[in-house]
Each structure stands twice: as structure tokens, then as C-alpha cells.
Amino acid sequence: MAVALFDLDGTLTDPKEGITRSVQYALSAHGIDVDDLDTLVPYIGPPLRQSFMTLGRLSEADATRAVARYREYFSDTGIFQNRVYPGIPVCLQTLTASGWRLAVATSKPTVFAERILEHFSLRQFFELVAGSELDGSRVHKHEVIAYALDAMSVAPDRASVMIGDREHDVIGAKQVGLTAIGVAWGYGGRSELARAGADRIVEDVAGLAPELESLGNS
């Protein structure tokens, strides 16, 4: 039975408002005031602590404090400033009906991912939700993917796929040995996904289930 791992942010849901407002809140505690939330879009997808260091130019210690500050806003408010991409529920239903085993593999802490999926009535489609830990462990995508496959008792090979919108999803899939499917409706864009080496890039949600079905039949 085929296995498909899905990224969450930028793939299943559009978390732009919640994540950017949470980042804005966190940066303000370090004297960095950001009025244009669009400039914080690059924070969507990669591990958060890493982003505070590379994008926010915070020290390692300040980045750790920024993550804690981020979660103050996100855990109560930002988590639900989010929306499901149109067509995702139908896509997931189609895949499960076709016999695919589905799981979520995200760099977001598992506890937050579970709450989001339950809130938007998507949890029912997934056998497993694999994310990072609140203590900062298992944040890199290849670690999350490997953990998910192990938990599902699936050997990593090209028959299994990782689906995501950022280069981290593609690179993580390649490191573990999975087929990498990039989705162009998220925050990485076609050029980023192509540079990272995505095996296939899907332009819209309607095309995802047919693309996976074609893989399963090839």
C-alpha cells in the first residue's frame, strides 16, 4: 500500500496570518518592529528557531527566547488564524479511498499540528501526525520523515512520497530516499522546488490526487 507524507503549513493549510503575526509579536520583544507582515512570509515552513537566527539575525540564545515568545501568541490565537486550501478535503478523501496511507510530516510541534488538523476536520484522514517536539528536538524535515516512516513500519524507498511547498520538504525527502512532490500553491514557489530537485511539481490542489495516482501506476 502506497504511503504519502504531507507537509502542513503551505500544503494543507494557509497559515500566513497566524504565523506572521506570531513572528511579529516575538520580534517586538527583541526591539524589532515589523509593520509589513508580508516581509515575514519566509518564516513559513523552515524550523522556527533557525529562521529567527538566519532571517531575524538573532543570537542562538535570543532565538530560543523568540520561539518561546512566538508560542505565547500562537498557542492561543495564531494557531487558528489559518485556513484550509480549497479542495484539500476532497483530495485527501480521494486518496484514502484509493488505498493510500496518509500521514503528516511537519516541522511544527506535533501538539500544534494535531490541534490544527482537529480544528479543521482533517485529522480523520491521517494515520499519523509527526512533528517536532516542544523541547526543540526533531525539527529538521529529514528527521521528521524518518520518524514518521518508522512509526508506520514503512521502509524508506521511492514508492513513498513526501509532499510539500518548500525546499526543506524536497531536501528532506531526498535525504531519506523518498520521491519528492512539490506543490506550487504554497510559499516556496516552482523555482525553489525545482532548484531543490523535486521529482514532480503540482500546480494546483485539483491536480494532486491524479498526480499521485499516476505515480502509483508507473
CB proximity list for 98: less than 8 A, separation 6 or greater: 209, 213, 216
pLDDT in tens, 182-213: 999 999 999 999 999 999 999 999 999 999 98
Grid look-up 538573532 returns 58
Characterize 34-66 residue by residue with b for buried, 16 or more Cβ atoms within 10 angstroms of its Cβ, and e for exposed.
Answer: eeeeeebebbbbbbbbebbbeebebeeebbeeb
Domain at 3-14+83-217, CATH homologous superfamily: HAD superfamily/HAD-like (3.40.50.1000)
Q: Which of 81-85, 114-118, 156-160 has the lowest mean pLDDT?
A: 156-160
Mean pLDDT of 166-185: 97
Mean pLDDT of 155-171: 95
Domain definitions of the chain by residue range: 3-14+83-217, 16-80
Q: What's the pLDDT band for 4 if we cut at 50, 70, 90?
A: very high
Catalytic residue IDs: 7
Options 1.10.150.240, 1.10.10.10, 3.40.50.620, 1.10.40.50; CATH of 16-80: 1.10.150.240
